[in-house]
């Protein structure tokens, strides 16, 4: 694709947090022309009336999916509840439209596991089999040629990228049977739908774990880690809700194998991510903060080995709405259309 060509992009479900984040990013993208934004409930409402931050940048109105002419787009993003993308993917791909789903419809290749966790049958297993898991740092080449991409979940992005250098290439560095991911997210990760648990008086001045007995992102993480390692990976995953709007922090605990005690893990991570635009391996001893990535597509990693012992602790931070969702989706789009991977994504984190 030439540098001057415009990608016609549509968004299904543009009223939620990932939808408005897509709008923010795509409205500034040098190679994107926003074509359509859909919402059945808000049909006819100017986007800027709902989100004044987009005044003067997005002049579209919400439309119903039936009137939005999504089949005239080059790419359609689904920022919708689970089950919506798979109901429309076949029709769109047959028209030559490429699909990026920010929900879970194309994340899990095992339909039995999908149906167990999302309580619905998978309606297009044929397209699922051809889809690509959209973690760029893992599947760059496959994403570039994909028709349908399943954008990773926010927690899985931090956990997989935090463990990737330790597992790939049949490495025998850590005890893969006993890995712990202690993860925290801001309340925007729960979406924009009103619920008691995310009310200010419930989530503010409070800190809690949830999904300890089982969380939908666990099988997604496990499927990818098993594939990377070429064997079963034992993972304990515990998510937490913290009283902030944006941000995600995963602390990963692994045990170093006796034969790997002389490994330079800092160098291992630096070499693996040396050419990745959006993964920053921080200097040894660093303590990353969520505010260092707020509103950016950057993910930062710090590697620690307390007392130079056999415990390896990996700290990972990202903005759950950007690298954890919409920014990663735009990164996937860039690859799919032969654009520079960082096009439209070079914003510096907002501080304070």
Catalytic residues, by residue number, are: 154
Q: Which residue has the tokens 């699922």?
A: 128
Q: What does 47-86 look like in DSSP terms, one character per residue?
A: HHHH-GGGTTT---BEE-TTTS-GGGSSEEEE-S-TTHHH
Q: How far apart are CA 222 and CA 235, in angstroms?
A: 7
Q: How far apart are CA 21 and CA 344, in angstroms?
A: 12
- Number of residues in the chain: 352
> CA 82 from chain center: how many Å?
15
Give the CA angle between residues 87, 90, 92 to the nearest 5°: 100
CB atoms within 10 A of CB 53: 12
**149: nearest Cα among 159, 139, 158, 157:** 139
Q: How far apart are CA 133 and CA 152, in angstroms?
A: 7
> Distance between the two ends of the chain, CA-based, in angstroms?
38
- Specify the DSSP element, H or E, that contains 183: strand 179-185
**13: nearest Cα among 21, 2, 25:** 21
State yes or no: cis peptide before 352, omega within 30 of 0. yes
- Token pair, residue 187, equals 């309340």
- Token pair, residue 214, equals 């089982």
């Amino acid at each position: 694709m030439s540098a001057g060509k415009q990608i016609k992009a549509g968004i299904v479900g543009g009223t939620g947090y990932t939808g408005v984040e897509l709008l923010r990013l795509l409205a500034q993208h040098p190679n994107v022309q926003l074509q359509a934004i859909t919402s059945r409930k808000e049909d006819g409402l100017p986007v800027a009336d709902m989100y004044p931050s987009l005044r003067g940048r997005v002049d579209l109105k919400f439309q119903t999916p039936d009137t939005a002419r999504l089949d005239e787009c080059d790419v359609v993003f689904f920022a919708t509840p689970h089950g919506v993308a798979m109901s429309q993917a076949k029709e769109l791909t047959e028209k030559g439209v490429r699909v990026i789903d920010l929900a879970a419809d194309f994340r899990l290749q095992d339909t039995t596991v999908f149906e167990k966790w999302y309580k619905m049958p998978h309606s297009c297993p044929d397209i699922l089999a051809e889809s690509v898991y959209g973690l760029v740092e893992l599947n760059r080449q496959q994403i570039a040629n994909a028709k349908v991409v399943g954008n990773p979940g926010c927690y899985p992005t931090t956990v997989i990228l935090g463990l990737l250098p330790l597992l790939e290439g049949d490495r025998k560095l850590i005890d893969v049977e006993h890995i712990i991911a202690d993860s925290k997210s801001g309340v925007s990760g729960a979406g924009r739908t009103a619920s008691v648990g995310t009310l200010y008086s419930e989530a503010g001045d409070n800190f809690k774990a949830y999904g300890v007995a089982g969380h939908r992102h666990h099988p997604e993480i496990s499927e990818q880690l098993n594939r990377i390692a070429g064997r079963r990976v034992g993972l304990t995953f515990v998510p937490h809700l913290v009283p902030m709007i944006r941000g995600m922090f995963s602390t990963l605990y692994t045990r170093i194998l006796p034969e790997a005690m002389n490994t330079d893990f800092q160098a291992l991570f630096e070499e693996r991510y040396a050419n990745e635009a959006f993964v920053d391996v921080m200097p040894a001893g660093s303590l990353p903060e969520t505010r260092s990535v707020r509103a950016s597509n950057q993910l930062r990693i710090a590697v620690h080995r307390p007392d130079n012992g056999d415990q390896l602790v990996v700290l990972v931070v990202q903005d759950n709405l950007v690298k954890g969702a919409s920014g990663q989706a735009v990164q996937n789009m860039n690859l799919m259309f032969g654009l520079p991977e960082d096009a439209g994504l070079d914003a510096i984190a907002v501080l304070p």
